[in-house]
Amino acid sequence: MRVERASRTLGARVQGVDLGRPLDADTFDSVRDALNRHSVLVFPEQEVEPPAQVEFSARFGRLKHHVLKENLLPGMPEIYVLTNMTSQNEVAPRPYAGAYWHTDLSYEAEPAFGSVMYAVEVPEVGGDTMFCSMAAAWDALSERMKALLEGLTATHSFEHAYETFVKHIPGTAPIDRRRFDARPPVTHPLVHTHPESGRRCLYVNPGFTERINELPPAEGEAILAFLYEHCTSERFVYRHRWSRHDVVMWDNRATMHKAVPDYDDGDSRYMRRTTIAGSAPRG
Ligand code: OGA
Ligand code: MN
């Protein structure tokens, strides 16, 4: 197994591993170490059937079933299908999923540890995914700013992303209110310690973070806007240009990510994703 860094602060390409079959324990440990070190791993040219994707992902932890049940692979609810087209070649009910900076499931008390995504079909142009390092972004803050942020908490909700971004995307089907009511907002520390690498990481995201709990709204909004600008600046970003049959795995505890919805209408992008359960971030 060879690991080559893909940018200065995060991301690595992993060669010499076949995810289509079970990994031996040493290889698996090396993959987990690489994930803790680089936060985003790209495995090019993989042949991964859904059961193998589930098997590999489940070695990292229990798998989650996504809240949008209609997007699960029939007969295999661990696999969430992200696609812009339906099987009838029509525009899918939720095109351009995740086209805003977010961390998966931060609106849950125990957010996702990470995700594994397999590119079945990629558009001819566009449709990249951007990732940023919340560890490198934290490290680069001044001591004054760190001192201000330490000990703060933020409220996260699923509804926030819907109200702020998702509902404005043309073609988005409305979401039943009861889905929001079933997911009341949660509180997380604004900076947490990564449970494996031990690095301090910012833990807020434009998608799901509603507010900083301990500050007046205007101050909290200004600080969040600054943090989002800071975290997503080029020096902390790895932008993945997908090739068909790439597997990309990311660590939600140390990153945000964003889909770039710039491909042609009618050009198919079809991804299979598994989501690994995680623990509550600890300040
Ligand atoms: C996701 C996601 C981004 C993409 O699967 O969680 O945000 O580029 N995907 O599809
Ligand atoms: Mn996502």
CA distances from 256 to 15, 114, 214, 253 (A): 24, 11, 23, 8
| pLDDT 10s digits, 53-77 | 999 999 999 999 876 677 778 888 8
Q: Please state the φ and ψ torsions of residue 105, each to the nearest 5 degrees.
A: 60, 25
Environment class of 183 (CB within 10 Å of its CB; exposed 0-12, middle 13-18, buried 19+):
middle
Kindly list the protein residues whose Cβ atom lies closer than 6 A to any atom of ligand 1. 82, 98, 104, 115, 117, 129, 257, 259, 271, 273
> Mean pLDDT of all residues in the chain?
93
Q: Compute the distance between CA of residue 110 and CA of residue 280 in angstroms, rounded to an integer.
A: 4
Token pair 């009341």 in the structure block, residue: 184
Which positions are annotated as active-site residues? 102, 104, 257, 273
Atom of ligand 1 nearest to the CA of 273: 5
Confidence (pLDDT) at 173: 77
Residue 250 has pLDDT above 70, yes or no: yes
Which ligand has the minimum distance to the alpha carbon of residue 130? 1
Q: How far is the CA of 208 from the centre of ligand 2 (A)?
A: 11
* Beta-sheet pairing, 72-73 with 40-43: unpaired
Output the six-digit token pair for 29.
């440990």
- Choose the CATH number for 2-277 among 2.30.29.30, 3.40.50.2020, 1.10.3430.10, 3.60.130.10: 3.60.130.10
| pLDDT 10s digits, 74-127 | 888 899 998 887 766 666 655 667 889 999 999 999 999 999 999 999 999 999
Q: How far is the CA of 161 from the centre of ligand 1 (A)?
A: 14
Confidence (pLDDT) at 165: 86
Q: Which amino acid is at 172?
A: T
Average pLDDT over residues 247-265: 95
Atom of ligand 1 nearest to the CA of 98: 7
Closest C-alpha to ligand 1, atom 1 = 98
Average pLDDT over residues 239-250: 98
Closest C-alpha to ligand 1, atom 10 = 259
Total residues belonging to the chain: 283
Token pair 């509603």 in the structure block, residue: 210
